[in-house]
Amino acid sequence: MDLLEGLNKEQAEAVRTTEGPLLIIAGAGSGKTRVLTHRAAYLIAEKGVEPWHILAVTFTNKAAGEMRERISSLVGHGSEAMWVATFHSTCVRILRRYADRIGRPNDFTIYDSDDQKTLMRSLIKQKNLDAKMFKERTFLNEISAAKNELISCAEYAAGTTGDFRRQRTAEMYELYEKTLEKNNAFDFDDLIMKTVELFRTDKEVLACYQDRFRYIMVDEYQDTNTAQFELVRLLSSSHHNLCVVGDDDQSIYRFRGADITNILNFEHHFPGARVVKLEQNYRSTQTILDAANAVIQNNRGRKSKRLWTENGEGERIVFRSFETAVEEADYVISDIERKVDEGKERYNDQAVLYRTNAQSRLFEEKLVRRGVPYKLIGGVNFYARKEIKDVLAYLKTIESGRDDLSLRRIINVPRRGIGLTTLGKLADYAVENDISLFDALLDADRIPGLGRTAEKIRGFTNQILVLRSRSKAVESVAELIRALLEETGYLAELETEDTEEAEERIENIEELINKAAAFDERSGTEAEQPGGRLSAFLEEVALVADIDSLDESEDYVVLMTMHGAKGLEFHSVYLTGMEDGVFPGIMSIMAENPTDELEEERRLCYVGITRAKRHLTLTYARNRMVRGETQAHTVSRFLNEIPPELLTEAVKKKRTEEMREAFPARRAPKRAAPTLPFALQSPAPKNFPGEKAKAGLDYGVGDRVSHGRFGEGTVRSIVEGGRDYEVTVDFDEVGVKKMFAAFARLEKV
């Protein structure tokens, strides 16, 4: 087989370049997966590289599976020895073997985001902090950001001098880490951070994997963070055969810690690197690509490239404007139905994309009322549902019993009469004796004050020990789940409820059993890692991404955010909510450094546009309900960057002209009065139209003023509000804003 056959000139060059660092700039739809798979096959078939010397890293399990299958079809037997996996899966395999080298047991548990939130809530309560003031998500975001930058809790604490908020976070970071270690658990960020720690501290282990992985390929390199960059750098620093594939124009995960400079500065980080650009697009029409090129060229922080295609010019992009978001949703769903009724497309050929999850509601309501099948990608993950979390908590407790979080979840599920008071005594005993909570349960007869509850505890621990013994004897995880459901009475309790909700939960559990059965069939007779089959199953479940739930064979309309759509493609795409303040979001417009934020938003727009293969529709609503108030918006600046000749309906007005004309329309919908702090509320506010405001203000109604973040605007009203004046300003760029004069610091222009 000629592995270069069917490749264009640049693709073939990337495949043949096997030695030394290589950066492949792969524009949207340019066939990067084809290049990666052919390059791996070329290394094996033409260069004689042993498959086990190749590591290919992706960002999703779905992408890893597809790559593995394609390579296997190209080279056949032996390709299964390659490591094709996500960053997290790769690190788990390494830590399962060598975590003990950094002082942690190899049979650790992996905490997902729900586990993390549950743990952090308990720690906030343990520290007697006000849960309304100190949110678990805020602490977890800070800790995650630190771990992505490879900053330990000690290093984080050292940089908090004089900052109370960061000092409090440092305390919680330290407590969080100690609790994770006590529970023998890693969170997702730990998987990479701890692997980097292992490589930095144990040169023998690092040398082992450097020799193992002589050729490394990394997909979606623009989405890597500091920890991932360092992991790749360490692994490739011996043989230097590092190939990364990515597109800086599709770097949209800055909020998750992705660092676009990793790809922009690749040649600096890896001297002597060769760069190959893939600019021929195989997905979209030239009209769609021209729109994408026109938008993204407004970014300064990018590598120059321009997508082109041989697919033909295609039809113009549909642009539709509406008075309200309700009208927008009605049009989109009607248009989807029309295409299906006319036999032009199936439901699963079409996707509705939006900037934020909250925008899905109107589309869902319309779809439900019209009986159109749809799937919301990015909703509640299957593995986050209560009954699934319960069963998995049982499995984790059966596996080792060291995970206190899982044990707390199921000790009284189904109800056994083991209450919070008893659990508190058990927890105190565990702390006093420096043992796990499960070990404390085993010592229940020795703990004073438990009384008859000790017998109930003994019944629970006996169940777990019997199931643990059974887990080592049986070869089927599915069989073990059925056994625990029967032994614990969990399934019987749901069946007794005899409600639709209970029936749905039973169906979800049955689906988990199906998942386990498929795992059993796929994994053969032996599990590769320490801990055996059950440990391998729990690891696989923990690493599942929500995007992996998209089944392209089923016929339903897909609803998802533009972030979630990355890596996917559809015949027809509807980009909705194309308004300033929605997309780009108001936080990006108002940011202290709006250039970086707006460039990220523009990259997201580029990603959204390039998901479309044949038909692209852009919609905009002049009025949209946001946080309970109807707000008027101007058309997105990104729409103005698309040449008018590419659109069916031109965006006729310049943004500044439209804003001046839109003011009456913005005042038409009555907004609810803002809720003020009690001290600032006044029972009888007085309006001062046409007057100079008191309290030393040098501007009045009708004057032009300037704001440090919102720019210039016109004062529309000044209202006395107790201790301060409420000033309403119609800003040129962001529309109408109400603010208190003392905080606004407006300056007359």
Cβ neighbours of 8 (radius 10 Å):
16
Per the annotation, the verdict on 611 as an active-site residue is yes
Active-site residue (options: 250, 359, 397, 561): 250
Coil, strand or helix at 695 = coil
* Inter-residue contact 693 to 725 (CB < 8 Å): yes
The identity of residue 518, as a single letter, is A
* Inter-residue contact 405 to 121 (CB < 8 Å): no
Helix, strand and coil in the chain, % to nearest 5: 50, 15, 30
Per the annotation, the verdict on 443 as an active-site residue is no
Active-site residue (options: 16, 17, 18, 33): 33
What are the C-alpha distances in Å from 154 to residues 122, 171, 173, 190, 192?
A: 22, 10, 9, 15, 18
Active-site residue (options: 112, 187, 189, 220): 220
Per the annotation, the verdict on 33 as an active-site residue is yes
Give the helix/strand (H/E) hosting 122. Answer: helix 113-126
Q: What torsion do the CA atoms of 557, 563, 566, 569 make, to the nearest 10 degrees?
A: 20
Helices (H), 571-651: 586-590, 594-609, 637-640
Active-site residue (options: 13, 32, 302, 422): 32
Can the peptide bond before residue 683 be classed as cis, meaning omega within 30 degrees of 0? no
Distance from C-alpha of 744 to C-alpha of 461, rounded to nearest angstrom: 62
Of the candidates 238, 205, 206, 231, which has an alpha carbon nearest to the alpha carbon of residue 89?
Answer: 231
Phi and psi for 213 in degrees, rounded to 5? -105, 85
- For the chain, how many residues are written? 749
CA angle 569, 608, 8 (to 5 degrees): 55
Distance from C-alpha of 483 to C-alpha of 468, rounded to nearest angstrom: 11
Active-site residue (options: 142, 189, 219, 579): 219
Distance from C-alpha of 13 to C-alpha of 35, rounded to nearest angstrom: 10
CA angle 180, 182, 185 (to 5 degrees): 40
Per the annotation, the verdict on 32 as an active-site residue is yes
Active-site residue (options: 194, 402, 611, 666): 611
Residues with a known catalytic role: 32-33, 219-220, 250, 611
